[in-house]
């Protein structure tokens, strides 16, 4: 499928031509940090249109320069975007461009280099997260352990209606997240071949955090 979204069960691969084109540039080893950051932001904004397709609307009476009319606007409380630190902030920027009034939360999780299991070091979300649609963002869904840990923590804080957004997923990570949180829909721009022995996605794009922030 081209120019839309390929949906299988709870996993949606958003394969718009512009997303595929920009993702190709993002994958290239020669793409410099500044360009990598810009592309990540642009892809995230484009993905946001599909991720937020089902936002509820309500009628509102307005006055145009020519006459009054009844139009529609998003109803309910504002969204809440949750970034899994640190790489999630790359996607967060594009999502905020799309919904500037959204509330923001952060979950700090790093992967133990030996066990590949997540260790939480920071958690700060809006107090009323239970009343908001919650979008969790992180560029790479590799083993799935960080995503599961972050969503589990959010649910403990009361979050409901959670969605998960990444740029690239591994089949192993998708399986782990779906098993732990079958109610959470996954949105991604690509599902790659597999994880390697170091739990990196192949072919992937390398370490998203390092490439976003120029730390390697």
Instruction: Please state, as a whole number, how many other Cβ atoms lie within 10 Å of the Cβ of residue 1.
Output: 9
* 37 in a structural domain: yes
Question: Which residue ranges are tagged as binding site for 5-phospho-alpha-D-ribose 1-diphosphate?
Answer: 86, 111, 138-146, 207
User: Is position 66 within any domain?
Assistant: no
Convert the pLDDT of each residue in 93-137 to its tens digit: 899 999 998 999 999 987 777 776 778 889 999 999 988 999 999
Q: Domain count for the chain, please give it.
A: 1
pLDDT of residue 6: 56
pLDDT tens figures, 196-209: 998 899 999 988 98
pLDDT tens digit sequence for 127-169: 999 889 999 999 999 999 999 999 999 999 999 889 999 999 9
> Does some domain include residue 108?
yes
3-state secondary structure at position 117: coil
Q: Looking at the domain assignment, is residue 9 inside a domain?
A: yes
**pLDDT number for residue 1:** 38
What is the per-residue pLDDT for 116? 67
Q: Which residues is 134 bridged to in the sheet?
A: 80, 162
| pLDDT value of residue 209 | 87
Rounded-to-integer distance, Cα 77 and Cα 200, Å: 37
Instruction: Give 55's contacts (C-beta < 8 A, 6+ positions apart).
Output: 74, 133
Query: Which residue is listed with tokens 């098993």?
Result: 179
Known binding residues are: 86, 111, 138-146, 201, 206-208
Whole-number average pLDDT of the chain: 90
In a domain, residue 136? The reply is yes
Provide the whole-model pTM: 0.89
Do the domain assignments include residue 63?
no
Q: CATH number for the domain including 171?
A: 3.40.50.2020
| pLDDT grade for 9, boundaries at 50, 70 and 90 | low
Domain-located, residue 190: yes
Provide the 3-class DSSP secondary structure of residue 126: coil
If you search the block for the tokens 């996993």, which residue do you land on? 11
- For residues 192 and 183, is the Cβ–Cβ distance under 8 A? no
- SS3 per-residue string spanning 137-206: ECCEECCCHHHHHHHHHHHHCCCEEEEEECCEECHHHHHHHHHHCCCCCEEECEECCEECCCCCEECCCC
Q: Please give the annotated binding residues for uracil, written as ranges.
A: 201, 206-208
The whole domain housing 90 covers 5-54+76-213
Assigned token pair, 214: 């120029």
The two most distant CA atoms of the chain are separated, in Å, by 65
Instruction: Note the pLDDT of residue 112.
Output: 75
**Structural domain includes residue 204:** yes
Q: pLDDT by residue (tens digit) across 16-37?
A: 999 999 999 999 999 999 999 9
4 — pLDDT class (breaks 50, 70, 90): low
């Amino acid at each position: 499928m081209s120019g839309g979204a390929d949906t299988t069960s709870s996993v949606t691969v958003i394969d718009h031509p512009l997303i595929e084109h920009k993702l190709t540039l993002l994958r290239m080893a020669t793409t410099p940090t500044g360009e990598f950051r810009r592309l990540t932001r642009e892809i995230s904004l484009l993905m946001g249109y599909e991720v937020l397709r089902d936002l509820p609307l309500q009628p509102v009476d307005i006055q145009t320069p020519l006459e009054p009319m009844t139009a529609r606007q998003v109803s309910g409380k504002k969204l809440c975007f949750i970034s899994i630190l640190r790489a999630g902030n790359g996607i967060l920027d594009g999502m905020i461009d799309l919904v500037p009034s959204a509330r923001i939360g952060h979950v700090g999780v790093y992967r133990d280099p030996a066990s590949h299991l997540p260790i939480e070091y920071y958690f700060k979300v809006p107090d009323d997260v239970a009343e908001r649609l919650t979008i969790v963002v992180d560029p790479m869904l590799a083993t799935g352990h960080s995503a599961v840990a972050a969503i589990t923590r959010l649910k403990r804080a009361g979050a409901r209606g959670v969605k998960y957004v990444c740029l690239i997923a591994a089949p192993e990570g998708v399986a782990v997240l779906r098993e732990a949180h079958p109610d959470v829909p996954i949105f991604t721009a690509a599902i790659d071949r597999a994880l390697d022995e170091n739990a990196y996605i192949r072919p992937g794009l390398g370490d998203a955090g390092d490439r976003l922030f120029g730390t390697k």
